[in-house]
Amino acid sequence: MKSSKIDNMLIHEYVINDPLHQLFDAVNAISVQGYDEERRVIYWNEGSELLYGYSQDEAAGQKLEDLIIPKPMRDRVISAHRDWIKNGTEIPATEITLRHKNGDDVSVFSSHVMFTNQYNTKQMYCIDVDLTAVRQAQAQAIFKEHMLETIFEAIPDSFLLMEIDGTIIDYHTNNKNNLDVTPEQFIGKNMQDILPDEVANKFKTHIAKVIKQEGMISFEYDLTLPQGLVYFEARVSYLSKYNQVVTIIRDITEQYKSAELIRHQAYFDSLTSLPNRFLALDRLSQMLIEAERNNEKTSVFFLDIDDFKKINDSLGHEIGDKLLIDAANRLQQVLRKEDTLGRLGGDEFIVLLRGVADHNNTLAIAEDLLKTFRNPFKIDGRELILTISIGVAIYPENGRCASDLLRNADTAMYQAKASGRNTYSFFTKEMNVIMQRRFEIEEQMHGALERNEFELHYQPKLDVKNEKVIGSEALLRWHNPALGNVTPNEFIPIAEHTGLIVPIGKFVIKQALRFLNEWQNIDQQKYTMAVNLSPRQFRDAGLLIFIKNTLSEANVSPENLELEITEGVLMCGQSFIHDALIEINGLGIKLAMDDFGTGYSSLSYLRQYPFDVLKIDRSFINGITLNKADCDLVKATIAMSHSLGLTVVAEGVETKEQLSLLADLGCDFVQGYFLSKPLPAKQLLDFSAQLYPI
Ligand code: C2E
Ligand code: CA
Ligand code: CA
């Protein structure tokens, strides 16, 4: 025992249970205090010293209420103690906050006993267990709970705590939208009871998996809820210590939808929602694998709307877009579910027919597709007639892979266009040869200008009345080392298609005007130089400025230049072409309508645009001395042209008879082999010198 003072006191007056004191002395984890009837300390163990800060010496003889009872409680404690002594009313054990020597609160669980000693006085023992640690732990637990609640509120995820058999122990969510029942109704239930089988099984499999392996497993599932289909991501981890599973569930609908949208954009055409080129060709590849396995045929259609560009340019893109959507719908209706309709871009579509029995089968579908366009399209109160051209390639005879089949269907489509459109054409080997040639020409044409492979020839034009040369037409020649001489009829359409006609056309204008200047200087007289212009050249915004500059560079006056255009230029009906023609006319440059008689509506164009010259197509001149019909037609054309104030040129005059007949009919100028073939510049100068010897 530490304090002799207490020892003395205890020994002489109060000791009632020495073994008990020994026990209290031995445990310092609890505080034991003894008080006499006046509440003076008669016992104070080490535990009390530790808990309340008073040493045994300090405490001995002090009153309970002066030591550890906070002021507000003093009166109550005193009266309760008196009551106990007097009336035997026990002070119940309780949690209570007492006071440390230094004034701090001390939380204790306090139990009390009352003894009567041998001197017949009462002694109260208080046994106080320190609750500070417990309180702290409790506070911590409460804090954690609050924090979790705040977290559960703040974040969109839901939390599930489950037994490994899927029984839900705890559930938190702030997103009540995604619940049919309240979270409380979940608890105690098995997932199997609240989720659709398919989803519950998914959980089951992943729980089984996560128990076997460390870490976290995530998976996705979807549920049909009142607000629609909702996509979730679940992350599962296993708490091995408790043999429980924690699942965090997140609503990923938004994410899923945007991913879906991106996926859709990558594979589908945004205008028509049809599979795009990429997806269509992918499907074709899949179909071919199947076709090979099943020993079946597959047909590939390449569809192109006829003159769609014209519609788009004249009626606007909005109507063009609506037409494409309607056209796609019509095409789709002809096809079976297992077939694919895709949009390759622009006005080009692809159709894939799976497992076709024979050619007749394919042919019938091609005809159905053409037929579905017979009725006019009604758009914004307009009725529009559309036709399509279809090229067909069949697996395996026309190609074994997707790209070969597509290319060959495309080739066949070209053929359908060439056969007058609104028709279909099956791919043949001969087409391949044509396409091959096209390809080579296209390839060789790149860089041909830079390699100086182009040259101009000039075909003289004669005045029928006085038989004098009045000018010439510049005609392009191409000699390529690999291909030899390529005719303009072959390479000009390709140059137009690739756009190379723009730089090539500029070369022609420059070269022709330079030569014209030289020719005029040598012969000391004025000639006209006719230059052919392609439709594509009008789309070059710099065309007019280029012509103007070239005229002044070459020192040629505008009225000596004659631009020949065909109906093709006018047919697209675009306002900028109209404007360009007016401007050309305004500059004083002559305009000639080329190949007159080969189109349908040339007459109306003649009135609409400021033409100066009309060139009657060779095909009519050919027949004038042979049949009356051609002769009458040419006669009427000349009369009409003159009435409109146009000069008439007859092309392709090959015989003396043709020339004299044309003279009789009043034709102004002639051009043709009878007079001369198109000649290189040097030879034309010689030809001209013979006629006009200086
Ligand atoms: P085109 O404008 O109708 O040119 C007349 C064509 O008829 C030329 O063919 C010419 O050589 C040919 N020809 C002339 N007289 C006779 C004849 O008496 N009998 C026969 N059978 N043919 C005759 P070429 O030079 O082969 O040109 C073909 C077409 O290529 C031209 O037809 C023209 O549309 C185009 N072309 C030629 N050069 C150019 C050019 O520089 N630019 C553009 N855009 N097109 C050109
Ligand atoms: Ca011409
Ligand atoms: Ca012509």
pLDDT digits (tens, 9 = 90+) for 44-98: 999 999 999 999 999 999 999 999 999 999 999 999 999 999 999 999 999 999 9
* 443 residue type, one letter: E
Distance from the alpha carbon of residue 651 to the mean position of ligand 1, in angstroms: 9
Task: Specify the range with the lowest mean pLDDT, choosing from 1-15, 47-61, 187-201, 435-449.
Answer: 1-15
The predicted structure's pLDDT at residue 11 = 41
Distance from the alpha carbon of residue 617 to the mean position of ligand 3, in angstroms: 6
* CA angle in degrees (0–180, nearest 5) for 315-317-323: 80
User: Which of 445, 475, 494, 529 for a ligand 1 pocket mutation test, highest count of atoms within 8 Å of Cβ?
Assistant: 475
The predicted structure's pLDDT at residue 436 = 84
Other Cβ atoms within 10 Å of 435 Cβ, number: 18
Most trustworthy range by pLDDT among 212-216, 248-252, 517-521: 517-521
Strands 669-670, 647-650: pairing kind: parallel
Compute the average pLDDT of residues 545-561: 97
Distance CA 92, CA 571 (A): 110
Distance from the alpha carbon of residue 596 to the mean position of ligand 3, in angstroms: 8
Shortest-distance Cα residue to atom 13 of ligand 1: 652
Distance from the alpha carbon of residue 505 to the mean position of ligand 1, in angstroms: 14
Closest-lying ligand 1 atom to the alpha carbon of residue 654: 18
| Residues 659 and 447: beta-carbon distance below 8 Å | no
The predicted structure's pLDDT at residue 4 = 44
The predicted structure's pLDDT at residue 12 = 42
- Whether residue 379 has pLDDT greater than 50: yes
Structure-token pair, residue 103: 């004034």
Most trustworthy range by pLDDT among 27-36, 119-128, 440-449, 575-584: 440-449
Distance CA 523, CA 511 (A): 18
Equal CATH topology for 2-131 and 272-427: no
* CA angle in degrees (0–180, nearest 5) for 576-581-585: 145
Q: Is the CB of 532 under 6 A from ligand 1?
A: yes
Residue % of the chain over a pLDDT of 90: 61
Provide the H-helix boundaries in 268-298: 277-294
Question: Hey, what CATH class is 272-427 in?
Answer: alpha beta
Can you give the residue ranges of every domain in the chain? 2-131, 156-259, 272-427, 500-687
- The sign of the torsion formed by the CA atoms of 654, 655, 660, 662 equals negative
| Residues 106 and 130: beta-carbon distance below 8 Å | yes
When the candidates are 3.30.420.40, 3.40.50.2300, 3.30.450.20, 3.40.640.10, the CATH number that belongs to 2-131 is 3.30.450.20
Mean pLDDT value across the chain: 89
Q: Kindly indicate the confidence band of residue 176, based on its pLDDT and cuts at 50, 70 and 90.
A: low
Whole-prediction pTM: 0.56
Ligand with smallest separation from the Cα of 475: 1
Q: For 655, which DSSP code? A: S
Residues 618-645 pLDDT 10s: 988 999 999 888 899 899 899 989 988 9
Better pLDDT: 597 or 585: 585
Q: Kindly indicate the confidence band of residue 177, based on its pLDDT and cuts at 50, 70 and 90.
A: low
Ligand with smallest separation from the Cα of 597: 3
- Whether residue 161 has pLDDT greater than 50: yes
User: Which of 531, 532, 669, 671 for a ligand 1 pocket mutation test, highest count of atoms within 8 Å of Cβ?
Assistant: 532
Q: Is the CB of 488 under 6 A from ligand 1?
A: yes
Task: Specify the range with the lowest mean pLDDT, choosing from 200-204, 218-222, 270-274, 601-605.
Answer: 601-605
Other Cβ atoms within 10 Å of 673 Cβ, number: 12
Compute the average pLDDT of residues 597-610: 73
Q: Kindly indicate the confidence band of residue 18, based on its pLDDT and cuts at 50, 70 and 90.
A: low
Integer angstrom CA distances of residue 634 from 616, 637, 642, 648, 672: 8, 5, 12, 10, 16
- Whether residue 271 has pLDDT greater than 60: yes
Better pLDDT: 400 or 157: 400
- Whether residue 257 has pLDDT greater than 80: yes
Distance from the alpha carbon of residue 563 to the mean position of ligand 1, in angstroms: 14
Distance CA 580, CA 613 (A): 17
Shortest-distance Cα residue to atom 17 of ligand 1: 652
The predicted structure's pLDDT at residue 8 = 43
- Sheet bearing 297-305, strands edge to edge: 340-345, 348-356, 297-305, 388-395, 424-426
* Stretch (H or E) spanning 636: helix 628-643
Distance CA 66, CA 288 (A): 100
Q: Kindly indicate the confidence band of residue 16, based on its pLDDT and cuts at 50, 70 and 90.
A: low
Distance from the alpha carbon of residue 651 to the mean position of ligand 3, in angstroms: 7
The b/e string for 599-625 (b: 16+ C-beta within 10 A; e otherwise) is beebeebbeebebbbbbbbbebbbebb
E-strand stretches of 55-180: 94-99, 105-116, 122-130, 158-163, 168-172
Distance from the alpha carbon of residue 492 to the mean position of ligand 1, in angstroms: 10
- The sign of the torsion formed by the CA atoms of 583, 585, 587, 590 equals positive
Shortest-distance Cα residue to atom 3 of ligand 1: 595
Phi-psi bin for 506: left (phi > 0), alpha (psi -120 to 50), beta?
A: alpha
Token look-up 């409109």 returns: 644
Cβ < 5 A residues, ion ligand 2: 532, 564, 594
- Partner residues linked to 614 by β-bridges: 593, 648
Q: Kindly indicate the confidence band of residue 2, based on its pLDDT and cuts at 50, 70 and 90.
A: very low
The predicted structure's pLDDT at residue 513 = 98
Distance from the alpha carbon of residue 309 to the mean position of ligand 2, in angstroms: 25
Distance CA 668, CA 638 (A): 9
Compute the average pLDDT of residues 198-227: 89
Q: Is the CB of 529 under 6 A from ligand 1?
A: no
Compute the average pLDDT of residues 601-612: 79
Q: Is the CB of 652 under 6 A from ligand 1?
A: yes
Question: Hey, what CATH class is 500-687 in?
Answer: alpha beta
| Residues 598 and 627: beta-carbon distance below 8 Å | no
Task: Specify the range with the lowest mean pLDDT, choosing from 319-323, 526-530, 537-541, 657-661.
Answer: 537-541
| Residues 469 and 523: beta-carbon distance below 8 Å | no
Q: Is the CB of 624 under 6 A from ligand 1?
A: no
Closest-lying ligand 1 atom to the alpha carbon of residue 615: 3
CATH number of 156-259: 3.30.450.20
Distance from the alpha carbon of residue 475 to the mean position of ligand 1, in angstroms: 6
Distance CA 19, CA 22 (A): 5
Q: Kindly indicate the confidence band of residue 499, based on its pLDDT and cuts at 50, 70 and 90.
A: very high
Shortest-distance Cα residue to atom 15 of ligand 1: 672
Distance CA 609, CA 624 (A): 28
Better pLDDT: 664 or 19: 664
Q: Is the CB of 475 under 6 A from ligand 1?
A: yes
Residues 107-142 pLDDT 10s: 999 999 988 887 888 889 999 988 888 888 888 888
Compute the average pLDDT of residues 345-353: 95
Structure-token pair, residue 326: 């309607």
Shortest-distance Cα residue to atom 43 of ligand 1: 532
Distance CA 503, CA 542 (A): 11
Distance from the alpha carbon of residue 649 to the mean position of ligand 3, in angstroms: 10
Q: Kindly indicate the confidence band of residue 691, based on its pLDDT and cuts at 50, 70 and 90.
A: confident
Which residues neighbour 451 within 8 Å (Cβ) at sequence distance 6 or greater?
none
